A and B are shown apart, each in its own frame.
Chain A
Amino acid sequence: MSNTEQRRSFLKVGSIAAAFALATERLHNHAHAQTPSASGDAASAADSTPDADYDGFSRFKPSRGNDPDSDYYLGKLVPGFRKPAEGPAPFEAPDVPKLPYKMDNGVKIFELVPMAVQQEFHPGVKMNVYGFNESMPGPTIEVTQGDRVRIVVTNELPEDTFVHWHGFELPVQYDGAATLTQNPIKPGQTMVFEFDIHEEGTFFYHSHVAMQEAFGQVGWFIVQPKKIFDPPVDRDFGLIFQNFHIPPTHTVSDSWAMDWNWHTINGKSGPYTTPLVCKHGERVRVRLLNFSPMQHHPIHLHGHTFWVTGHEGARIPKTAWVPRNNELVGVAQSSSFEFIANNPGDWIFHCHMIHHMMNHMVRQVGPRIRDDASVDQYLTNLRSRPPVDASHQESFATPGYPQKMQGMEMSEDFMQAIWNRKEVRGMRANYAMAVKGLMTVVRVLPEDLYDLVMHSDQQVEKGAVFAEIVRRFGDPGAYQAAPKMKM
């Protein structure tokens, strides 16, 4: 049994404290070992690792490098642990399935079905949108540069549709640009698209009927390069950002709206978005597609500086890469963010557009900001309403109060669904209060904690992993755990 296997089997049965103890012990023996602990003993071990330090940039701790012109400044060309011979890291779009294919005479055949779907934006909140193959966004098509593809599109919508292969330099008849290039695919009818793919990079497909696009019809079309991009990455995540307008009491998205009150990443809305979990020191790529009807997304990653290495058209030559904390992604644009995950912790990754940082922002007036008033009082007796409680706290002496959303209530079922995912194990008990709308979390975990979170059956207490990271890398004396009530 390898060391890793031993550790995993232990994690499945042991206690978290024991697991940490063992994991810490392993740190000293492991090659790309984890990071320096707060004790400092491990720090020297990490620093001595050959690939831990690149011209002043450390894979394992926040650092910038010695020279902005260096290839390794901010980890620009610092490779991941993955060997190029292993091929590209698998593309992973959390919560979005991959579209399987069949081979026929060297042609990859995909079957794509435009259809109406119910997409669960929040636990139990199933919104009516259009998608493909029972998913919104549609399933990911992943191929390799040089493949020939045949995509059989069968329209299960009750109306005409078209599918456009966004960015491909293909024969015009397969472009899908509505009746400019083809006849509509009628309800129940099938149309076959077949073309060679000479491109590499980040592409997507979408309906070419405007409102169907606004109504959710998009999916990834990832083309892995024949020659793996240098430097190789360990993780290749994909996130599709979308906006919808869904009125209160409703589930149907109003694609005619000019204002947007529901925001999704891969069809989920924060805090139901699935965190991107990676190991400390890995090179991570996040491809981000903005498929909102009309709003741009300034995307911000906390705790790291990333390089913008590509857009939807193609990989950017290294000389043109830009380091940023915030990247503006326009409508129907895709950006690739690459960074070395050298700062352990749970880092929020979000659109910085204020109104996208929560769903359906409603004006904070009424019972929820009044003393001793709850909506349940009103619901209990609809025929006669309680008298208004007009007394207000002193906080109201401040013009502008309250700016923070008050009285957020998350039901037990809701919280159960949030916590019922392995990716969130050990996060702070009230993390869900922070992650809303177009927000997700990049979790950078030392390998033992990564295994604990992603592979063990261990009961992990809320906040335990975060506290352990603070213990190892932070200032545990000044740390306060989250209150656990209501969670």
Chain B
Amino acid sequence: MKSHSEAMRSPIGRTFIPPPPVPSPPYGVQGLDPSGPLFPEERIHGGDFPAAPAPVYVDGDRVPDTFAMEAEVQGYDLSDFLTLAARNNPTIRQARLQISAQTAKALQAGLYPNPTINYIGEQIGVDVEGDKDSPGEFQGMTVRQRFVTAGKLKLSREKYMRRAHVSEHLAMAQQFRVCNDVRIHFFRALAAREKVQLRKELLKAAEDGAVTARELYNLGQATRPAVRKSSIALQRARLDVLTAENHYRESFRRLVAIVGVDLTDGLVSGDLMPEGEPISYREAVSLVLSESPELAAARAKLAADRVTVRREQVEWIPDIVAEGGAGYNFEAKETTAAAGVSIELPIFDRNQGTIRQAQLDLRRQQEEIRRTELMLQQEMANIYQQYLTALQIASEYDRVIIPEAKLAYQELLQSYKANRVDWPTVLDAQVEYFDSRLTRVQYLEQVRTNEVLIRGYLLHGGLMAAPGPTPPGHIDAVAKPR
């Protein structure tokens, strides 16, 4: 009974009530400016949408209520960002320093050992004829020099020079990592910017939907729930604009981080449409297998490992340590000379273990090359699939879907003009047209980012530290690099 009497009291559907009000926009979105009787100021049930949204503060900073794209900001194109990155990205410099470090190591490894000067006093205090407690039988100086045999130093230097060569390839890879990342984030920012524009078009359509719903309401052609639905759609479209703007800011800031400079909010300018011909899978794979700097580094590392083996193979050949000098023989009371030669007898330790280890490292590196090739192929399969799918979809959106959506919209506008179709149908077509353009941008973004990876040997991660020439645990831990 209570609910029945409540229903009786409800004016809905019993007396005319103005349509539900348009919700106020969330903070940061320009509001529709409805003036006129279809958009009552008056709130039903004590206010559907209380108060305007408060500004958003984060850590005491007020989030700006206008998006940078609205204001006068500087526009940057891809080449601007690449130039800035080449100068400022720290990992590129890191990679170059790695090369120098290896060259320095090579220098050190090839240095000849220093001679040693010895003072010798033998049998000090021995009694000799005529002299009790003589200063010693022999007092003198010798010089000892190790003579390095079998070209060990040359091999050591060569080995480290080859490692420096590995570092050169790795530096090249790092440069690609950075440039690819700049490109990827540039295209992401570019796509994000276009998405903002399209989201704003969709917002205008949603605003029109809200206005149209209220017009229909006044004609008895839309229900109150239908008008509320239009308000929901409007608010969602407004949130979509905010999301898109935030996403653009994120993309731009990520881009700026890779470039390595402090830029405030700015605009990216360029074209999302690929310029060149599409890449075939065969072309993509052959490109990465023949030109990948990672693979080149692995091959260079193999050469270095070969030298390592040769170096270890000569290690057992004993160096000759010669020593010579002069002194005074207090027994013979005359000046005498001293000489000695020592040579290690490689009876037990012929460096067999290290030679073996170096040989295994070499074989391991051979497998490493193969592993790298296969890993690149596996990654390429995935990236190429994403590239091709996105390209196929974006192309068909360009070739058929968007032109069709545009013509449908245009034809319906003309029909509306001729009074043959009503406005909600036109609005549907308008939304479809804008939405299909949004989808195209989403897929073009994927085309461009994957294309960058394919043409850039699948390298990305421009802020990861540049790797060194040797994997962890490799022979390296000796006092003197050899």
Contacts and interface: CB of A to CB of B under 8 A. Distances in A.
Q: Which 5 A-B pairs have the closest CB atoms?
A: A366-B423, A392-B36, A248-B421, A397-B37, A390-B34
Interface string A246-284: 001100000000000000000000000000000000000
Contacts of A394: 36-37
B207 interface: yes
Interface string B383-421: 000000000000000000000001001111111111111
Interface stretch (B161-169, B218-226, B309-317): B218-226
Interface size band for A: 35 or more
Contacts of B38: 390, 392, 396
A366 B219 CA distance: 12
A330 interface: no
Nearest to A369: B215
A409 B35 CA distance: 27
Interface string B253-278: 00000000000000000000000000
A358 to B, nearest CB: 9
Given A364-B219, A375-B413, A385-B205, A396 B419 contact: no
A401 interface: yes
Nearest to B418: A409
Contacts of A369: 215
Contacts of A397: 37
B433 A390 contact: no
Given A363-B216, A366-B422, A388-B208, A375 B35 contact: no
A478 interface: no
A248 B208 CA distance: 21
A378 to B, nearest CB: 5
Contact of B426 (A366, A386, A393, A403): A366
A408 B427 CA distance: 20
A483 interface: no
B414 A379 contact: yes
Contact of A408 (B34, B410, B419, B423): B419
Interface of B: 16, 22, 32-39, 201, 204-205, 207-208, 211-212, 215-216, 218-221, 406, 409-427, 430, 433
A387 B414 CA distance: 19
Contacts of B421: 248-249, 360, 362
Contact of B34 (A249, A378, A386, A391): A391
A405 B419 contact: yes
Given A379-B414, A400-B219, A390 B207 contact: yes
Interface in A376-428: 376, 378-379, 382, 384-388, 390-394, 396-397, 399-403, 405, 407-409
Given A363-B219, A363-B424, A390-B39, 11 more contacts: A248-B425, A249-B411, A360-B420, A362-B419, A366-B427, A378-B413, A382-B409, A385-B208, A386-B204, A391-B36, A394-B36
B412 A248 contact: yes
Contacts of A401: 218-219
B33 A363 contact: no
Nearest to B202: A385
A396 B420 contact: no
B181 to A, nearest CB: 32
